[in-house]
Amino acid sequence: MEYSIQNLSKTKIEIAFDVPKEEWQQDIRNAYAKNKHKYAIKGFRKGKVPFSIAMENFKYEILYDTLNMAVPKYYNEILDKEKDNFEVVGEPDFDDKEVSEDGLKMVITTAIRPDFELGQYKGLDIEKFDTEVKDEEIEEEIKRTLDSRARFVDVDRPAKEGDSVIIDFSGSIDGEKFEGGTAEKQNLILGSGQFIPGFEEQIVGMKKGEEKDIKVKFPEDYAENLAGKEAVFAIKLHEIKEKEMPELDDDFVKDISEELNTVEEWKASIRKQLEEKKQRQAENDFANKIMETILKNTNIELPECMVEEALDFKVQQLERNLASFYGIKLDDYLKYSGKTVKDLREEKREEAERDVKYELIITEIIKKENIEFSKEEFEAELEKVPEEQRTQEMFNYTVNNLLTRKLFEFLKQNNNLK
């Protein structure tokens, strides 16, 4: 077999090969031997039709079987010989120019992994993420926890912001009630912004059992039938409760934790958690910034099949997330959002292209810098995974995870964090 390779673009090649008569006729006999059980002619048992007679009666079927067997064989032979020169991606397009008993002429067009000049990736100035935990952040976390443990108690005074009130309301526009404007025993935290502007503020100062009309104007970007219109709401206030915060002391800490005993221990625990969270944020922030910077310095032309594959993954990922977290099917989500799969793919295209380019850059740096991990590091990662979960997919994930981690350690050491 003789072959030639022509570059059609930076991301596509054409492979042409000829199989000479002698070699091709042996391929035909091999295809016949493998598939002869399919051929039946009166006077011969099925599978016992001689080759010459089978060719007279089933020539095109046998040639078709030969193509299916031989072409992948020759294609893979070529790819193996050329593995140091290019890497194919996506599905190839086969075009048989000549097929007969005397030989085969085949042209295969395929996308290849793009060859590109890697931009600067060392000696860059990257802004450092602030990992310092301030006392104010600890106090905010404590406040959020205290707030979540607060309870509301009845009070006998006018309502004020922050109170929880129970109200009836009935809204009307030009004296006519409108759909959705009436409710009874509605719970509302004053100042929460749950209702339209001006509504909650006018309840402040009302007393238990009081009735009052309040005037409001719907925002211009509200529902079309109400947008910009003035309305009157008849309000009756049934209950007023104020938030009673728990006291911050050692007893409170013991109540929320089985391991901590004092307020100071709790504060130290919060500080540690925030430091770990900020450190993770810093790692992610560095990875994002360094990759954005390298990409700006690197020009990569992508084959469409790589982008389409990335888009397939993103749509499948969305489908899994919708099912897992919300119990919603993708078709239902599309119906509710008024979108199509095509719309989704178009929305995600820029992100998919970026992800593919990142993957290419990461692979290129790992290769160029000979980044690797030790057997001991791999085994240490495996120890974290239960025996029954150690699948090939998990092994591949572990390898990629280790290499990526090593890469960003390398980039952190070879760039300037400021």
Range of the domain at 394: 279-417
Same domain, 213 and 299: no
Output the pTM of the full model: 0.74
Same domain, 99 and 172: no
Q: What is the pLDDT of residues 51-61, one digit of tens each?
A: 999 999 999 99
In which band, very low, low, confident or very high, does the pLDDT at 204 lie, cut at 50, 70 and 90? very high
CATH number at residue 85: 3.30.70.1050
Q: Is position 145 within any domain?
A: no
Same domain, 290 and 405: yes
Q: Which of 217, 244, 271 is the last residue of a domain?
A: 244
Contacts of 407 (CB under 8 A, 6+ apart): 362, 365, 366, 371
Buried b (16+ CB within 10 A) or exposed e, 362-375: bebbbeeeebebee
Bridge partners of 14? 6, 109
Nearest to 230, CA basis, from 244, 242, 215, 240: 215
Q: Is position 104 within any domain?
A: yes
Rounded average pLDDT over 167-193: 94
Q: Is position 118 within any domain?
A: no
Give the E-state strand segments of 175-306 in sequence order.
176-189, 211-217, 230-244
SS3 167: strand
Judge residue 127's burial from the number of C-beta atoms within 10 Å of its C-beta, 0-12 exposed, 13-18 middle, 19 or more buried.
Answer: exposed
Same domain, 158 and 211: yes
Same domain, 197 and 286: no
Same domain, 219 and 284: no
CATH number at residue 212: 3.10.50.40
Same domain, 7 and 102: yes
- H or E element that contains 357: helix 341-368
Q: Is position 384 within any domain?
A: yes
Same domain, 283 and 411: yes
Q: Is position 179 within any domain?
A: yes
Looking at residue 10, what DSSP letter applies?
S
Q: Is position 297 within any domain?
A: yes
d(CA 62, CA 69): 11
Q: Which of 198, 225, 244 is the last residue of a domain?
A: 244
Q: Is position 119 within any domain?
A: no
Same domain, 14 and 82: yes
Same domain, 408 and 298: yes
Rounded average pLDDT over 264-278: 96
The answer to whether residue 418 scores a pLDDT higher than 90 is no
- How many domains is the chain built from? 3
Rounded average pLDDT over 371-380: 93
Per-residue model confidence (pLDDT) at position 1: 86
Same domain, 314 and 405: yes
Same domain, 402 and 320: yes
Q: How does the average pLDDT of the chain come out, rounded?
A: 94
Contacts of 159 (CB under 8 A, 6+ apart): 165, 190, 203, 204, 205, 206, 207, 237, 240
Type of residue found at 45: R
Q: Is position 134 within any domain?
A: no
Q: What is the pLDDT of residues 84-121, one digit of tens each?
A: 999 999 999 999 999 999 999 999 999 999 999 999 99
